Every structure is written in structure tokens, then in C-alpha cells.
Amino acid sequence: MGDYLRRFSNNGITFFTASAGGFGALPTFEELENPQTNLATEVISADGVTIGKYAKENRTPVKFSELPENLVNALVATEDERYYEHTGIDFKGLGRAILKPGSGGASTITQQLAKMLFTGKASRNIFKRIGQKMKEYVVATKLERQYTKQEIIAMYLNKYDFINQAVGIRSAARIYFGKEPKDLEIQESAMLVGMLKNASYFNPLRRAAKVKQRRNVVLLQMTRNGLITEGEKINLQQLDLNINYTPESHSDGYATYFRTHLQKIMRKWVQNNPKPNGEEYDIFSDGLKIYVTIDSRMQQYAEEAIKEHMANLQSYFSKEQKRNRTAPFYDLDRKEIARSFERAKRSSERYRRLKKVGKSSKEIDEIFKKKTKMKVFSWKGDRDTIMSPMDSIKYYKHFLRSGLVSIEPQTGHIKAWVGGINNKHFKYDAVAQQKRQVGSTFKPFVYATAINQLRMSPCDAFPNTPYTIPQGKYGIPEEWTPGNSNEKYGGMLTLKDGLAGSVNTMSARLIDKVGPDNVVRLAKAAGIETEIQANPSIALGAVELSLLEMVSAYSTFANRGLRVSPMIITRIEDKNGTVLKDFVPETQEVLSEETAYVVLDLLEGVTQSGSGVRLRSGYTSGGKAVTGFPYKFENAIAGKTGTTQNQSDGWFMGIVPNLATGVWTGGEDRATHFAGITKGQGATMSLPSWALFMRKCYADKDLKISREKFEKPEKLSINIDCEKKTDEDKNEIIEEDTDF
């Protein structure tokens, strides 16, 4: 049969007929020129790590030079021993494939590539199968003429679907072994080559024993071809597979919330930046490379910090809720609780899907009441259970949420973005989507306005007495006299004492001196984009803002009063490495360098003697050492805690010279909160996540996170050297005021 096919194919008429499409349409020249379609778009971190992909197929091609020699050797030895000798066709194998489908056919690597690219699955009809093989022959011959042997191997390995979202050798190496192809060891390469026989059958996640047997066959072939010794083969065959399964779905890996946000940005970008031919780029198939500002190491540390602290905080919250009859809510009656659950149901993805297929409200209600198998989140890992969708909504309401974002003030580069505790189960992004009351973290903008406008000093002192803004002033309907949460009054307080203790009466006095309009103007110039009503109550944080806005605005203080707009993308390239767009930040001067430094000095007071003092070593209260806060930072930290009414939101903003980081923590509903201030304040809910994150960053010397003091302006005319406090005053635990 092989001789017959050789004669058949050598017949000029037959070859011409196949080439002309007599056995079916053949790929065009353009298709042969560019057979690599459906390429995944890569998201590449600032430190060169691929942190995610957007893909129809999770496929990112590699060049032949990026493939390890052991992988190429294993491939040729197993799939096509005469690969470097033939011109694309094995006639003996071709005859066997036609007469006996499923025999493997001894197809060459080039033929297999032609089949994957252009001819598809083999027909059961012998005549159609002959036609397919003729097409495969013609395409293989053209591929051999068009490309080098090395290019064909690279295309073949880049195209093959290794299943489990691993399309192409790079995805396979990353998903099954957590490494790049160039780092594959011999036995790992042999396993992946073994999967080429039938990836669905030789699935390492389901048939490990079969996969190991097949891997060992590949190692045997390598021995027969003199590529490894008999001793090496024996040693390698005894090794376990050692799969390091690292899935690359959107809900897996690091920076999942960030990647969701980035995808929205990219969808808008491609609409306004077409290809040269006018078509729109497809971020799921055009193989773009998006270089982002995220640092993969800092992202990992941020996610670890949130997980460590929130798992611990949740245990305290869950214990408290056992005594709460309306758990996880406070201050709501039954009707209000029912409405909360109904809102959550209607905003769920399940509800939207059911509505889309035309289910009635009654039918949807019944579906939400019916128990079913599902996986639910827990801090010990996902667990299988049986519950109704409505019960799952109630279950998830009990979990506290948190977000963290970190920005390099000098460049505006966002280095870490944690939008929640688990993207698979909690989709809402606490960094950019969510806006919550910010509490006392807004007070620095009031102080900054007073310093910038009136050149006030941290040492300026005012009476610690109730302060009233009369009815009608600034358009308020009635007089406003905010109180201090600790109800302590009397004596004089400096601005530094006032911010360290988050004293409400001081904030009220200052906003009246400068006017709410000026505070709003400064906050917006610093990076707050949300519309803010110029009302005196903003002095206590009665404004809903995003975490991203807050950290961006705080970065202005660390950058000597110069605002640098937040950046998430540095450049975008096409699949060939051509730069499509370089991004540069926008800058704006907001404060004088002197004012920015004085604000930082005020904020340092928060971590030296205020609600952020637990970051420091030797943290004591009433002369006794306090345990449980082992952070012991000794470097300069400017920070501010924030707690809103009823402990619904806990914030901490922390700045060192080259990094500004903010953390928010709270429930999905504002009625979900701790009963008391001890566990419910920002210093307890959010500060520990910041501290854990920074400790991990400092431990990584390659990151070069600053431990230095904030740089002092050459000319500082505002006095910041206030009289030192007593040791007892410095170590007093200060519980911050809430916003009302």
C-alpha cells in the first residue's frame, strides 16, 4: 500500500488535483504564512512574570530557541524518528492510516501539524479519508517548503491541546509543572510528549498510572535512539510524575480582581486603537502582550497578608455572631433583613441567567429554595455541601470582606491590587468598584488644607472643647456640633495631637476655618474623582469613596505634593513584539513640598502616639506591655486609621517614602459589623493586613522598599518641633473617633 501511495502521489495529475482543491479546499497562502491563530493575550508584571491571560485558547507560543533540547529529543524519538530526513511525509505510515483508522498511522510531525491546522479529525469513510490524507500530504509538503524543521516543531508544540486549559507547550509546562518550557527536566518533557498520543486519555489529573506508563515508553524511545543512557532511563522511570497543578483560569492565580479591571480597560482601549487595516484587536485571540505595573512578588505578599489576617479576624467575628439573634446583621428588623437577602438574590449571576432564559419570578423563587450540590468558600478551602441557593446567599453574608491596593507615589505605578478575599466566590472589587464611607482617613485633607492655606503648624494648639458650626452656614439645615467618641474634653490640643487622636472637635474647627469648598478642591486635585458635597461633615469622613481614590490621593503627600495619576499599564505590544502604545502618567502639583512634608509629619504622629501605635515596638498601655501585635516597625511610617459609624468600615492608610498602601475591611452590608469598637476599629480590622504585607515586602530585599525617613525640604519655615510628650501619653491606646 505504501508503494501504491508513493506512485499515486508522485503522479503529477494526482498532486495537481489535490493542490487545486480536488479533494477539498486547501489553506490559502496567507493562512500558511500565519497559521498561529487564537493566541492568548498575556498580562506581564513589572518583574517579567506572566500573571494572567485572556484567551479563547490558553495558548502563548514560544520560539524553538525557548524549547529545551530534552523536549525536542523526546518528541522526535517518539513521534517521528526520521523527522530530519524526510520532506514531510511517511508513505508507509500513510497507507496504514488510511486502511486502519486509529492505528496512529505513523504520521510525521509535519503531517500532524497539517492535520491540526487545516484538515481536522479523520473521517470514518475510506474515500473521504483518502481525500483528507491527500490534503494532509499537500499541506505537509507546503509547510516543509515554507518553514524550517525547527519552526515546524515549535508550531506543532504551540498548537497541541494538552487539555485542562493547557493549549500549547508553554501553558502545559506552566499548568502541570509550574514552570517555563526551558526549565523542564527530562522526565517532565517525556510526560508531555507522551500526552501527544491522546491527551484526553493520558490525563495526568485523572490517570496518573497510565500517564506514568506512557512517559516511560517515551523514555525507552529516547534510550533506543541514543539520547539517554540505559542507567538514566532506569532512574527516570522510577520517578513519580510530581505534578504541580497550577490552573490558569481567570479565578485562579494571583491578581484576579486586577485582571478583571484590566480587561475592562482593554476592551475600551481596543475600540479606540484599531489595527492598521481598521479591524479591532481581539484581546482573546490576537496574542497581545500587556505589560502592567503590578509586581508579582508584592501581589503575592498582599494576597497572603489579606488571607492571613482575614481568616483570623473572621474567626472572632463568627464567634461573636453566635450570640447575635439577627446574625450577621445588627440594627435591622426582619423585614429589612429579608429585603437584604432579596437584593442579593436579584443581583446574583444565577438570577440573571434564569431571567435571561425566560423563567418567571415564581419559578426563580422555587429554584432558589431547592437544595442542590455546590462548593462553597471557607477559609480552610472550598467545601462540598448541599444547600439551596438562597441558603448560600445567607451563608456568604456572614463573611467579612477586605481590599488592599499599593501605589508607588513617584511613578503612580500600582504595585499590588487585592479586590477581595476570593475572586471565585466574591466578585465585587473592593479596590475600584466599591465606595464606602472613609471615616477619619479623610481628616488629613482637612489638615492639609489648613496648613496649605493658613500655613498652620502641627504645634498650633486649640481648646479641646465642643465646637459648633451654626445653622445656615455652608447651607447646613441645622447647627452642627460633633462630639468626641471618647467624650473627653478640656485642655489644649495641638494639631499633631488632634490628628493622632483623630479628635472630631479639632477637625470641625479646622474645616470651619478653611471652608468645606477648599477641602473638596484640594481632595479632588489630589486624586479624589467622586463628587463630594461641600458639607462640614466631610471633616469626619461622611463621604463614600473608593480605596483606589484614597490611596492615590495619599500618594500625593509622599510625592512632595505632586500628584501622579495611578497607572496599571506601561505598554502594549502585538504578537510580533511591535509596541502599540507606551503609557506615561499625568502629573499635577497639588501642594507645596513644605505642606506635603508637614502633613507627613502629622501622619507620623498617628503611628507614634495615636491609633497606629500598635505598629511600633514596645507597644504598652497603662504601663503594661501589650501582646498580639508583633510588628515592631522602627522606620518612618505616616499613617491614618479610619472607622465609620457602628464599626461598619475599618480603614488603614500607611505610607513609607516609596510606597503608599491602603486597606479597607467590612461586611457586604453596613449592618454587618462587630458589635464594639475594640475589634471593629480600623486599627484592628485593617492595620494588621497592612503590617503583614509590609513585613513581607521588607523581608524581600530585591524590592528595595524604603526604611528611610521622609525627605525634609531644604527650606522648612513651618515649625514641626513640638514639645515632647511624656512616655505615658505616647503609649496610651487611642481609639479613634467615628464619623458621626
**pLDDT tens readout for residues 442-488:** 999 999 999 999 999 999 999 999 999 999 999 999 999 998 877 78
Residue-level pLDDT at 137: 78
Say if CB 420 and CB 257 are below 8 A apart: yes
Distance CA 569, CA 3 (A): 59
pLDDT above 50 (res 23)? no
Distance CA 708, CA 180 (A): 37
Distance CA 590, CA 528 (A): 12
Q: What are the angstrom distances between the C-alpha of 244 and each of 240, 635, 672?
A: 12, 39, 39
Q: What angle do CA 133, 139, 142 make, to 5 degrees?
A: 145
Structural element, H or E, at residue 152: helix 149-159
Q: What percent of the chain shows pLDDT beyond 90?
A: 72
Which is higher by pLDDT, 90 or 588? 588
Residue-level pLDDT at 725: 47
What are the backbone angles phi and psi of residue 625, rounded to the nearest 5°? Answer: -70, 140
Locate the domains of the chain by residue range: 2-37+57-255, 329-387, 401-730
Distance CA 520, CA 533 (A): 8
Q: Which of 681, 661, 696, 691 is nearest to 735 (CA)?
A: 681
Say if CB 190 and CB 75 are below 8 A apart: no
Residue-level pLDDT at 101: 53
C-alpha cell at 84: 530530519
pLDDT tens, 636-667?
999 999 999 999 999 999 999 999 999 999 99
pLDDT above 90 (res 86)? no
Band (pLDDT 50/70/90 cuts) for residue 131 is: low
Look at 30-39, 74-83, 369-378 and tell me which has the smallest mean pLDDT.
30-39
pLDDT above 60 (res 104)? no
* Helix axes 230-237 and 186-195, enclosed angle (nearest 10): 70
Q: Rounded mean pLDDT of 36-60? A: 84
Radius of gyration, alpha carbons of the chain: 32
Q: Which of 422, 75, 323 is nearest to 221 (CA)?
A: 75
Count Cβ atoms below 10 Å from residue 264 Cβ, excluding itself.
Answer: 10
Q: Rounded mean pLDDT of 304-331? A: 96
**DSSP H helical ranges for 347-436:** 349-356, 361-369, 389-397
Band (pLDDT 50/70/90 cuts) for residue 5 is: very low
What secondary structure letter does DSSP report for 167?
B
Query: Strand, helix or coil at 629?
Result: coil
| Residue corresponding to grid cell 513521534 | 79
Residue type, 443: K
Q: Rounded mean pLDDT of 337-349? A: 94
Residue-level pLDDT at 631: 86
Look at 93-97, 273-277, 327-331 and tell me which has the smallest mean pLDDT.
93-97
Q: Is 428 left (phi over 0), alpha (psi -120 to 50) or beta?
A: beta
Band (pLDDT 50/70/90 cuts) for residue 190 is: very high
Distance CA 144, CA 138 (A): 10
Residue-level pLDDT at 354: 93
pLDDT above 80 (res 324)? yes
Q: Rounded mean pLDDT of 306-325? A: 96
Band (pLDDT 50/70/90 cuts) for residue 115 is: confident
Residue-level pLDDT at 285: 86
What secondary structure letter does DSSP report for 736?
P
Name the average pLDDT for the chain: 88
Instruction: State the burial class of residue 153 (Cβ atoms within 10 Å of its Cβ: 0-12, 13-18, 19+).
Output: buried
Residue-level pLDDT at 560: 96
Q: What are the angstrom distances between the C-alpha of 370 and each of 345, 364, 707?
A: 14, 10, 56
CATH architecture of structural domain 2-37+57-255: Orthogonal Bundle (1.10)
Q: Rounded mean pLDDT of 235-250? A: 88
Say if CB 212 and CB 238 are below 8 A apart: no
C-alpha 555: how far from chain center: 21
Residue-level pLDDT at 82: 86
Residue-level pLDDT at 11: 46
Q: What percent of the chain shows pLDDT beyond 70?
A: 86
pLDDT above 70 (res 530)? yes
Residue-level pLDDT at 18: 46
Say if CB 594 and CB 320 are below 8 A apart: no
Residue-level pLDDT at 35: 54
Instruction: State the burial class of residue 732 (Cβ atoms within 10 Å of its Cβ: 0-12, 13-18, 19+).
Output: middle
Instruction: State the burial class of residue 492 (Cβ atoms within 10 Å of its Cβ: 0-12, 13-18, 19+).
Output: exposed
Q: Rounded mean pLDDT of 19-36? A: 49
C-alpha cell at 236: 527516570
Residue-level pLDDT at 401: 98
Residue type, 492: M
Distance CA 653, CA 405 (A): 10
Distance CA 446, CA 452 (A): 10
pLDDT above 90 (res 237)? yes
Count Cβ atoms below 10 Å from residue 236 Cβ, excluding itself.
Answer: 19
Q: Rounded mean pLDDT of 501-526? A: 96
pLDDT above 60 (res 506)? yes
Q: What angle do CA 212, 213, 216 make, to 5 degrees?
A: 85
pLDDT above 50 (res 7)? no
Structural element, H or E, at residue 149: helix 149-159
Distance CA 440, CA 521 (A): 18
Count Cβ atoms below 10 Å from residue 368 Cβ, excluding itself.
Answer: 19
Residue-level pLDDT at 522: 97
Look at 155-169, 293-307, 683-697 and tell me which has the smallest mean pLDDT.
155-169
Band (pLDDT 50/70/90 cuts) for residue 141 is: confident
Which is higher by pLDDT, 107 or 105? 107
What are the backbone angles phi and psi of residue 449, rounded to the nearest 5°? Answer: -65, -40
Give the torsion through C-alpha atoms of 185, 186, 191, 193, to 10 deg: 110
pLDDT tens, 678-692?
999 999 999 999 999
Query: Strand, helix or coil at 679?
Result: helix
Residue-level pLDDT at 247: 79
What secondary structure letter does DSSP report for 118?
I
Residue-level pLDDT at 553: 98
Query: Strand, helix or coil at 147?
Result: coil
Q: Which of 252, 67, 245 is nearest to 169 (CA)?
A: 67
C-alpha cell at 167: 493549549
Distance CA 305, CA 299 (A): 10
CATH topology of domain 401-730: Beta-lactamase (3.40.710)
Residue-level pLDDT at 471: 94
Instruction: State the burial class of residue 245 (Cβ atoms within 10 Å of its Cβ: 0-12, 13-18, 19+).
Output: exposed
Q: Rounded mean pLDDT of 296-319? A: 97
Residue type, 515: G
CB-side exposure of 99: number of CA atoms within 13 Å?
11
pLDDT above 80 (res 405)? yes
| Residue corresponding to grid cell 510528549 | 193
* Distant-in-sequence, close-in-space partners of 69: CB < 8 Å, separation ≥ 6: none
Count Cβ atoms below 10 Å from residue 215 Cβ, excluding itself.
Answer: 26
For residue 640, the cross-strand partners are 653
What secondary structure letter does DSSP report for 633?
B
Band (pLDDT 50/70/90 cuts) for residue 55 is: confident
> According to the per-residue pLDDT averaged within each range, which of 97-111, 138-152, 570-584 is highest?
570-584
| Residue corresponding to grid cell 506635603 | 596
pLDDT tens, 544-587?
999 999 999 999 999 999 999 999 999 999 998 999 999 999 99
Distance CA 648, CA 329 (A): 11
Which is higher by pLDDT, 394 or 35? 394
Residue type, 325: R
pLDDT above 70 (res 4)? no
Distance CA 699, CA 686 (A): 21
Decide the pairing of beta strands 461-463 and 436-437.
unpaired
pLDDT above 70 (res 265)? yes
> According to the per-residue pLDDT averaged within each range, which of 298-312, 340-354, 620-634 is highest?
298-312
Residue-level pLDDT at 620: 57
Residue-level pLDDT at 98: 56
Say if CB 304 and CB 661 are below 8 A apart: no
Residue-level pLDDT at 89: 77
Q: Which of 139, 177, 172, 147 is nearest to 26 (CA)?
A: 139
Q: Which of 716, 695, 731, 512 is nearest to 623 (CA)?
A: 731
Say if CB 444 and CB 553 are below 8 A apart: no
* Helix axes 687-699 and 296-321, enclosed angle (nearest 10): 150
Residue type, 658: N
Q: Which of 636, 643, 689 is nearest to 662 (CA)?
A: 689
3-state percent helix, strand, coil for the chain, nearest multiple of 5: 45, 15, 40
Say if CB 37 and CB 285 are below 8 A apart: yes
Q: Rounded mean pLDDT of 123-141? A: 68
Which is higher by pLDDT, 16 or 693? 693
